[in-house]
Amino acid sequence: MNEYRNLIGGRLAPAADGRTLDSVNPATGEVWARIPASGKADADAAVAAAREAFPMWSGMPALGRARFLRQVAEVFTRHAEELARLETTDNGRILRDTLKKDLPGMTYLWQIAAGQVLDAVKGDTVILGPDSLGLTRREPYGVALCIIPWNSPISTFSAKAAYALAAGNTVIVKPAEQASASVLRLGELLAEVFPPGVLNIVSGLGEDVGDPLVRHRGVNKVSLTGSTQTGQAITRASADALKPLTFELGGKSPNIVFADADLDAAARGVTVDSVFTGNAGQVCVAGSRILIQRPVWDEMIGRITAIASHVTLGDPLDMATTMGPIVSAGQYERVTSYLEIAEKEGAGLVFGGRTGAEVVPSLPGGYWVAPTLFTASDNSLRICQEEIFGPVAVAIPFDTDDEALAISNDSSYGLAAGVWTRDLARAHRFVRDLQSGTVWVNTFRQMPPGLPFGGIKDSGYGHDAVLEYTREKAAIIQT
């Protein structure tokens, strides 16, 4: 049985009271590892360590911090296969994605963050008069708490911690209890890179360790990637201290296919690049509402069905597998409940709907849901409005551009959207008028470092980038 430990003040340690949580392999349903079930004492220790390290880390020349970040990139390169296999075992995201996409991308991200350290210390100068000078300077907040989800732990860890550290903050990472092993193992490796207390990692349940961290007066900034409900709870918990927050929350992204689109590209973009493969639709930006213009409705449904029929479910560690399991028993129950909801609401089932052992008989204990597509003519259905977070999509027909916009924006979420069209004027209009933080045109799920990523409405606010982890101070100097 694999045993993992917290990283606090440069030391690897179990939870203060010795409690642990089981980590379950979602492909088999079996316990494969144990992680610390941390509590308030561990939260207090992590904050104390981060605060003690802050003067040294923030006072270091920016290029000095960059050298540490480049060392992290080297760790990712050296340990890519180990970390990828750990994450795949822990959350079911297929190895061909964790190994071939995630880890190389994170190596690059840490290098990019190292190159942006000077952006965090740049300011502006304003000549106020012949004897008066105004200037601004950027300063780190102090201790940044980064709360990360279970669907892509290492990627989200990197997107937050790299920029927070580049800006001069010390960092505490709270991984999701469903999938903490890869991040805790990464903590073991990074304990050899950072000075004690600069990076701390504590695992456990949200109510036991997450809430004490959010409420702690020694935490100066909170960044969350997670559900809208968690974001609301953190907002309430942090209100007394008025902590600055960055939230990347849920989504119900529209993926809009116009009749003039490249239908081959669009069919792939709304299926394997969006909701049916890789992480089994367990991604916040999944284009789970597929809007199709009526003249190509039948053709697109046929193309989507054909592509979905070639999705290969199975052992996520097998490089031939193209879709893995649902992460946990609880999430499996949530996803399968929406199959029943869709049926009761009168949605049409095009394909899928199969669950459990009938999907992957060779792994009967896993949490399996086949790629599933429903059709609906009414965007008010729950499967059109609520985030399912699984390989379940709904196709909705439309006639005009205005109708497509109205359906797309008829959502409490506003994280991302896709538009498939050859009409440049239409593309620019939809980029302008879609209520979402990111719009992809003739592509989907491209999130390169250097561009902001975040949402509006119930999908959150702010984005993980170096300036998000700094505050601006103004000074006026009379000469």
Place of tokens 């977070």: 389
Q: Pick the catalytic residue: 87, 248, 387, 468?
A: 248
First vs last Cα of the chain: how many Å apart? 68
DSSP secondary structure string, 45-59? Answer: HHHHHHHHHHHHHHH
> How many residues in the chain?
479
Integer CA distances (angstroms), 132 to 284, 390, 472, 479, in order = 49, 59, 20, 6
What structural domains and CATH numbers belong to the chain?
A: 2-249+459-478 (3.40.605.10), 254-449 (3.40.309.10)
Is residue 129 packed enough to be buried (19+ CB in 10 Å), middle (13-18) or exposed (0-12)? exposed
Helix (H, G, I), strand (E, B) or coil at 441: strand
Q: Which distant-in-sequence residues (6+ apart) come within 8 Å of 3 by Cβ?
A: 20, 33, 34
Answer for the pair 217, 241: CB distance below 8 angstroms, yes or no.
Answer: yes
- β pairing state of 289-293 and 438-441: unpaired
Spatial separation of the C-alpha atoms in residues 177 and 22, rounded to whole Å: 9
Q: Residues 272, 273, 274, CA angle at the centre, nearest 5°?
A: 90
pLDDT given at position 202: 98
Active site residue 248: yes
For the record, the structure tokens of 329 come out as 């028993």
Q: Where are the alpha helices (DSSP H) in 118-258?
A: 153-166, 181-190, 211-215, 228-237
Q: Which distant-in-sequence residues (6+ apart) come within 8 Å of 159 by Cβ?
A: 109, 225, 464
Spatial separation of the C-alpha atoms in residues 273 and 292, rounded to whole Å: 17
Place of tokens 């809009």: 256
- β pairing state of 416-420 and 254-257: parallel
pTM, two decimal places: 0.96
| Bridge partner list, 107 | none
Helix axes 80-91, 181-190, angle to 10 degrees: 150
For the record, the structure tokens of 124 come out as 């502006």
Written as tens digits, the pLDDT of the chain (479 aa) is: 899 999 999 999 999 999 999 999 999 999 999 999 999 999 999 999 999 999 999 999 999 999 999 999 999 999 999 999 999 999 999 999 999 999 999 999 999 999 999 999 999 999 999 999 999 999 999 999 999 999 999 999 999 999 999 999 999 999 999 999 999 999 999 999 999 999 999 999 999 999 999 999 999 999 999 999 999 999 999 888 899 999 999 999 999 999 999 999 999 999 998 999 879 999 999 999 999 999 999 999 999 999 999 999 999 999 999 999 999 999 999 999 999 999 999 999 999 999 999 999 999 999 999 999 999 999 999 999 999 999 999 999 999 999 999 999 999 999 999 999 999 999 999 999 999 999 999 999 998 877 888 999 999 998 888 999 999 999 999 98
* Residue 73 phi, psi (nearest 5): -55, -40
Spatial separation of the C-alpha atoms in residues 89 and 227, rounded to whole Å: 23
Q: Residue 190: which of 74, 24, 52, 45 has the closest Cα?
A: 74
